[in-house]
Chains A and B, each alone.
Chain A
Amino acid sequence: MERCERKTLTMGNIAVAEGAIQAGCRAYFGYPITPQNEIPEYLSRRLPEVGGIFLQAESELASINMVLGASAAGTRVMTSSSGPGISLMQEGISFLAGSQLPAVIVNVMRCGPGLGGIKPTQADYFQATRGGGHGDYRTLVLAPNNVQEMFDFTVRAFELADKYRNPVLILADAILGQMKEPATLVPEYPPLDFDKTDWILNGAHQRPARNLRSMYLEDDDQEDLNYVLQRKYERMEQDEPLAEERWTEDAGLLVVAFGTSARVARAAVTQARNEGIRAGVFRPITLYPYPRAALRALGERIKRMLVVEMNCGQMLEDVLAIVPPDVEVRFHGRPGGGVPTPDEILEKIKES
């Protein structure tokens, strides 16, 4: 997985933006909001270079619906935002899911609720993993934890979006967006392309007219659509869960964390190991579909877990639902822009 060749010091937001270009994204619609402005700023220059379209929209409502239009016409398309902007996009994400349209949506999380602040958070976990808008739908959610993954997961997100004809979310945060690390801005392999000729709206040339919609008023058609969606989500749950495990073989205690929290947790666990404590880390990479089977298997033998999040316990609910009942699950969280320190987590590890 290590690609040392041509590493450059890159900001997380820039890695996302260049990842989109490398994935073949040829349209971006968005509205400025901190801490993700580097994405539209970079793409406003970069997309025209590759023959793509950049347009600053009048709002996130407009952005996501522009995304829907471009996607329906067959273009790889992305938007990005944070907190209040992502909330405004929820209606459009629901329409994308209902109309079975691919799109990549990047949430560089900032703390809320409300206008909140620009400090990092993981408080949009519920919103991201439960669909977020109205209706019975899911979006694939990828959670990077370094700049390289900001790039790699963005490339992957476009593949997954097209593969499932479904919106895919990148759930990052203000730290990941703003941090600089060496990263390779070349994909590991040429990004996969998917044939869209049998569903896109590009003019009914030599074929019957097509329609893309989420509304089905007749008989049980809306119920049928929902079953089609559910079968798709089952396929995702079968094939796509991804997690990273560290030091789990002999662990007596497992720290469960994603994104930035997982970085800090890994530092804490390294320290714990140095002090002779047999701790391990489980980092879900796909937050939906959640890597349930892997975590459940670990729960069969590791009976103490510590969930660490930058919120007041959102993923915690999933962990509690997944692990066997005899696992003792503790929680350490920092909401509202707080970031846990390795020392804080180490202390909790020692208490657990």
Chain B
Amino acid sequence: MGRIEINAALCKGCYLCIEACRKKHIEIDDRLNVQDVLPVRVIPGTECTACPRCAMVCPESAIEVFHD
């Protein structure tokens, strides 16, 4: 199984990662970040396969992916 870490401060809110994730593991947060955009967050209770499609498409390199 896998896990992602999102650096919310770097997030630009393009949501390409949400589109890229086949596991529907990512959603839009409800609090603005330092850049005044709504970043993304992990949806609790959903799973991650560490594939790592979300990180691949992120233009800000804001996502890191872990595998165990």
Direct contact of A and B (CB under 8 A): no
Interface residues of A (CB under 8 A from B): none
Interface residues of B (CB under 8 A from A): none
